[in-house]
Amino acid sequence: MPALLEGKTALILGIANKWSLAYAIAGAFRREGARLVLTYQGARQKETVEELGRELDAALVRPCDVSLDEELERLAAELQGAGMRLDAVVHSIAFAQREDLTRPFAETSRQGFLLAQDISVYSLVAVARMAAPLMTEGGSITTLSYLGANRVIPNYNVMGVAKAALEAAVRYLASDLGPRGIRVNAISAGPVKTASARAVKDFSTILDFVAQRAPLRRNTDPAEVGDTAVFLASDLGRGVTANVIYVDAGFQAMGL
Ligand code: 1JT
């Protein structure tokens, strides 16, 4: 099979370390011949992501805090200045305060709610607005979601509401950008032991529960998320937009 992303440039936001879903996606994109532009948040992530960028032979590794419009504008200006067209964007970013993932959802503060919406949802809108002018040949924008958007998952709380908004944002962005040949989709991944997940208490119990009940009787492998992201970014995905694709070993289908 020929490389699926040969000649394409992909911007990937949200690698924190080698367990990040964004890192699995970057690896799959690189395997398929894409040129990679990676971003990280803040000085704490710099060393790690620059090292992973070297491993992946990334063309560019840059800081980008998606809560700041200026940082997104600076990144867009730099890519523009380097004459870089973008063909794919992967948004793999979310945040919520720890207390909002432990206390009852009804206790969520206004500030905690808005913070989760800002970082986990509005950032997709801001990234799409920044990237769209660089996608002069059309392109694909993919974000990461979770089943907590549609069902009550204990403790997912404010993130569930944020993921519901994120999936709605995918549909509205797909409608806006479709006429320019830009597709917008989400991958709803099954739970994976990432750094974010480590912040969740009893996460191993959740993983075991899912593995016992999912049709495939196992958890989601990050590489499966990477391969689905390749499909969406490639010409194979040309007819798919405004969609949420489950890469979760089938768990979402189960009632009991
Ligand atoms: C965040 C965190 C976003 C954890 C996340 C997330 N998206 C998925 N997970 C993992 C997860 C978390 C819970 C869960 C299942 C999966 C933590 C930091 C903020 C952003 O419950 C079954 C709670």
Tell me whether residue 241 is in a domain.
Answer: yes
Domain membership of residue 206 as a residue range: 9-248
The pLDDT value recorded for residue 27 is 98
Averaged over 208-226, what is the pLDDT?
Answer: 98
Averaged over 233-248, what is the pLDDT?
Answer: 98
Q: Measuring from atom 3 of ligand 1, which residue has the nearest CA? A: 94
The answer to whether residues 112 and 57 touch, using CB atoms and an 8 Å cutoff, is: no
Distance between alpha carbon 3 and the CA centroid of its chain, in Å?
22
Tell me whether residue 255 is in a domain.
Answer: no
How many independent structural domains does the chain possess? 1
Ligand 1 midpoint to CA 126 (Å): 22
**Ligand 1 pocket, 101 CB below 6 A?**
yes
Tell me whether residue 99 is in a domain.
Answer: yes
- Of the candidates 190, 195, 97, the one whose C-alpha atom is nearest the C-alpha of residue 144 is 190
**Ligand 1 pocket, 145 CB below 6 A?**
no
Tell me whether residue 256 is in a domain.
Answer: no
Return the CATH number at 104.
3.40.50.720
Catalytic residues: 146, 156
The answer to whether residues 6 and 30 touch, using CB atoms and an 8 Å cutoff, is: no
Ligand 1 midpoint to CA 159 (Å): 7
- Of the candidates 73, 230, 91, 84, the one whose C-alpha atom is nearest the C-alpha of residue 173 is 91
pLDDT digits (tens, 9 = 90+) for 155-174: 999 999 999 999 999 999 99
Q: Which atom of ligand 1 is nearest to the CA of 199?
A: 17
Tell me whether residue 3 is in a domain.
Answer: no
Residue with tokens 């801001």: 126
pLDDT digits (tens, 9 = 90+) for 177-215: 999 999 999 999 999 999 999 888 889 999 999 999 999
The pLDDT value recorded for residue 209 is 97
pLDDT at 233 exceeding the cut of 80: yes
The pLDDT value recorded for residue 202 is 87
d(CA 44, CA 163): 26
Tell me whether residue 153 is in a domain.
Answer: yes
Q: What angle do CA 153, 115, 124 make, to 5 degrees?
A: 85
Q: What confidence category does residue 140 fall into, taking pLDDT thresholds of 50, 70 and 90?
A: very high
157-177 vs 123-131: helix crossing angle, rounded to 10? 20
pLDDT digits (tens, 9 = 90+) for 17-60: 999 999 999 999 999 999 999 999 999 999 999 999 999 999 99
What pTM, to 2 d.p., does this model score? Answer: 0.97
Tell me whether residue 205 is in a domain.
Answer: yes
Q: Which of 196, 210, 225 to mutate to test the pocket of ligand 1 (most atoms within 8 A of CB)?
A: 196
Tell me whether residue 253 is in a domain.
Answer: no
